[in-house]
Amino acid sequence: MRASRVAASLYGARAAVCEMPFATVASDSLGGVGGTCVLRGCVPKKLLVYASKYSHEFEENHGFGWRYGTEPKHNWSTLMTNKNLELQRLVGVQTNMLKNSGVTIIEGRGKVVDPHTVSVDGKLYTAKNILVAVGGRPSMPDIPGIVHVIDSDAALDLPSRPEKIAIVGGGYIALEFAGIFNGLKSGVHVFIRQKKVLRGFDEEVRDFVADQMSLRGITFHAEETPQAVTKSDDGLLTLKTNKGSINGFSHVMFATGRKPNTKNLGLEEVGVKMDKHGAIVVDEFSRTSVDSIWAVGDVTNRVNLTPVALMEGGALARTIFGNEPTKPDYSAVPSAVFSQPPIGQVGLTEEKAIEKYGDVDIYISNFRPLRATLSGLPDRVYMKVIVCANTNKVLGVHMCGEDAPEIIQGIAIAVKAGLTKQNFDATIGVHPSTAEELVTMRSPTRKVRRDAADESDQSISNRGNNRQVSVFQAAPEKSNPRLQPVKNGDEL
Ligand code: NDP
């Protein structure tokens, strides 16, 4: 959508988009203008997140004096009907956006038949350039009984609320749906094959989010890999893992990643190269191994986020039609996990920052937000700011807690602009807010030094990838909020 709209409206290119008719669950012949994000991903997911958050808010508000005559009840079909009406509306909005930009819509399934020709349900269309932006599809391991499980497409459009659901996976989708179903009062069990959820995220955020989700009633099963799913006569499902079996699930959902949707598009036949995961291999300008064929978005398996795909599409239109070769810029891409509580992050994790820069200062705040003082709930907020010790630049910010996605969007501007901790410190906080903590953290919680010569008793642990690094940890805040003196430390 982005590539065709920019190409047509900004550069006057003749552009057409080929897309299949709308359905909530995608298939080989159904999809819809708007694609995964609008119809089977970010947007409907966020609507369900909103729906599910109310139960926590009902719990919170007792401490603020609210009482209800009866327990609040949720009507599943109202939610599904309204969500689907909104999706229908969005298909119309997206279609109009294309038309208003001067883009032609060709409805049907497309197949590339030569480097300049696409066949749509048997009718041939020729073009100087072809862009493949078909995204990805849920992928599941091939284990016995996999036919009984649902994927995220189906989970967004269930006819009734799951009584008890097993969710396999510990990534974005698994955690977001765990929060949704928990908030809507299903029993939720999450099975992860690692020790922790969210591989690749900041280590402490990984622990924090799992703790907070557990406190809200989700049961995590760590280091449990699914081996089979069976269905009993009463329709209930059993999940067998390497550690045993758990039964009585009304639903089992697999959120075990997504794969590029490159099958049956004619790409191999025309010579478009793919990697071992089926992702289209592209150069820095999103050009495939066939000169006239380009690819952007999840189908290239670079950074699989909608706003990144939009950037890639815009850059591509400029490259081809604007006479301005433009590479997508992947630095400081912010992202959020709409778990409950949600996560927002931008820039490097602590582990990556140490690997890249060696000397970093880490500022951490883990606190009870004002709202929790009266709600009485065990909700907390976690924030981490990672600073390069040599340049004072903020390398990464990670947050888990209410409003983290909204807060991190603003912070991402500062990180992208390469601002320093001094810039953060010079910024006045908005009071009273959770976000103000990000500009009021004055003392590092720890200083990590790659080549600290003195292995004194201030060096309390070693971390990092085969590098000798020393960590100088602040004393616990209650006894002494200041850092212990460090060998080459600045006065803080
Ligand atoms: P992820 O790759 O994030 O997570 C997949 C999870 O499934 C991992 O925990 C992985 O474990 C686990 N897994 C994979 N295979 C198996 C298996 N055979 N058995 C057990 N566990 C397995 O994928 P998602 O499906 O959550 O999300 C797909 C993509 O969608 C992501 O790239 C994400 O960027 C995007 N997305 C973004 C959102 C956002 O921006 N808010 C929301 C939703 C999706 P392990 O760690 O061991 O590999």
Residue, of 324 and 466, whose pLDDT is higher: 324
Q: Which residues are catalytic?
A: 431
**DSSP assignment string, 421-486:** HHHHHHSPPPSS-SGGGGG---S-SEEEETT-S---TTB----SSSS--EEEEPPPTTT--SPPP-
**Ligand 1 atom nearest 303 alpha carbon:** 34
Residue, of 26 and 236, whose pLDDT is higher: 236
pLDDT at position 48: 98
Q: What are phi and psi of 377, to 5 degrees?
A: -85, 155
Residue 347 near ligand 1, beta carbon < 6 Å: no
Nearest CA, atom 28, ligand 1: 257
Residue 242 near ligand 1, beta carbon < 6 Å: no
pLDDT at position 452: 64
Distance in angstroms (rounded) separating the CA atoms of residues 173 and 316: 28
Residue 169 near ligand 1, beta carbon < 6 Å: yes
Nearest Cα to Cα of residue 351 among 465, 449, 450, 445 = 465
Sorted by sequence, the CB contacts under 8 Å of residue 434 that are 6+ apart come out as: 369, 381, 401, 402, 403, 407
CA 394 to chain centre: 22
Q: Is 235 left (phi over 0), alpha (psi -120 to 50) or beta?
A: left
Distance in angstroms (rounded) separating the CA atoms of residues 346 and 419: 13
In the predicted model, is pLDDT for residue 460 greater than 90? no
| Contact between 127 and 114 (Cβ < 8 Å) | no
> How many A from CA of 257 to the centre of ligand 1?
4
Tens of pLDDT, residue by residue over 67-116, are 888 888 999 999 999 999 999 999 999 999 999 999 999 999 999 999 99
Q: Is the peptide bond before 72 cis (omega within 30 degrees of 0)?
A: no
Strand pairing class (187-191; 164-168): parallel
pLDDT at position 492: 27
Tens of pLDDT, residue by residue over 161-170, are 999 999 999 9
**Ligand 1 atom nearest 256 alpha carbon:** 7
pLDDT at position 264: 93
**Ligand 1 atom nearest 199 alpha carbon:** 46
* pLDDT more than 90, % of the chain: 89
> How many A from CA of 193 to the centre of ligand 1?
12
Average pLDDT of the chain, as a whole number: 93
Which amino acid is located at 94 in the chain? Q
In the predicted model, is pLDDT for residue 407 greater than 80? yes
Assign 484 a pLDDT band (cuts: 50, 70, 90).
very low
| Contact between 327 and 335 (Cβ < 8 Å) | no
Nearest CA, atom 22, ligand 1: 256
Q: What are phi and psi of 484, to 5 degrees?
A: -65, 150
Q: Is 244 left (phi over 0), alpha (psi -120 to 50) or beta?
A: left
In the predicted model, is pLDDT for residue 29 greater than 70? yes
> How many A from CA of 336 to the centre of ligand 1?
14
Nearest Cα to Cα of residue 194 among 185, 186, 203 = 203
pLDDT at position 470: 80
> How many A from CA of 171 to the centre of ligand 1?
4
In the predicted model, is pLDDT for residue 340 greater than 80? yes
Binding site for FAD, by residue number, is 46, 110, 298
Assign 445 a pLDDT band (cuts: 50, 70, 90).
very high
pLDDT at position 474: 73
> How many A from CA of 174 to the centre of ligand 1?
7
Question: Residue 396, SS3?
Answer: strand
Assign 47 a pLDDT band (cuts: 50, 70, 90).
very high
Assign 466 a pLDDT band (cuts: 50, 70, 90).
very low
Tens of pLDDT, residue by residue over 219-265, are 999 999 999 999 999 999 999 999 999 999 999 999 999 999 999 99
> How many A from CA of 86 to the centre of ligand 1?
26
pLDDT at position 486: 32
Domains of the chain as residue ranges with CATH = 1-137+259-322 (3.50.50.60), 146-256 (3.50.50.60), 334-448 (3.30.390.30)
Burial of 25 (0-12, 13-18, 19+ CB in 10 A): middle
**Ligand 1 atom nearest 298 alpha carbon:** 32
Question: Among the listed ranges 143-157, 331-345, 450-464, which one has the minimum average pLDDT value?
Answer: 450-464
Output the CA–CA distances (angstroms, integers) from residue 143 to 147, 226, 245, 257, in the order listed.
9, 8, 15, 15
Residue 178 near ligand 1, beta carbon < 6 Å: no
Cβ neighbours, 10 Å, residue 298: 27
| Contact between 315 and 341 (Cβ < 8 Å) | no
Burial of 442 (0-12, 13-18, 19+ CB in 10 A): exposed
Pocket perturbation via mutation, ligand 1, pick of 137, 193, 303 by most ligand atoms within 8 A of CB = 193
Assign 292 a pLDDT band (cuts: 50, 70, 90).
very high
Average pLDDT (440-462) is 71
Distance in angstroms (rounded) separating the CA atoms of residues 212 and 381: 9
Q: Is 12 left (phi over 0), alpha (psi -120 to 50) or beta?
A: left
Residue 168 near ligand 1, beta carbon < 6 Å: yes
Question: Residue 487, SS3?
Answer: coil
Question: What pTM was computed for the model?
Answer: 0.93
**Ligand 1 atom nearest 140 alpha carbon:** 18
H-helix segments, 200-338 = 203-215, 267-270, 306-321
Tens of pLDDT, residue by residue over 362-386, are 999 999 999 999 999 999 999 999 9
Nearest CA, atom 30, ligand 1: 304
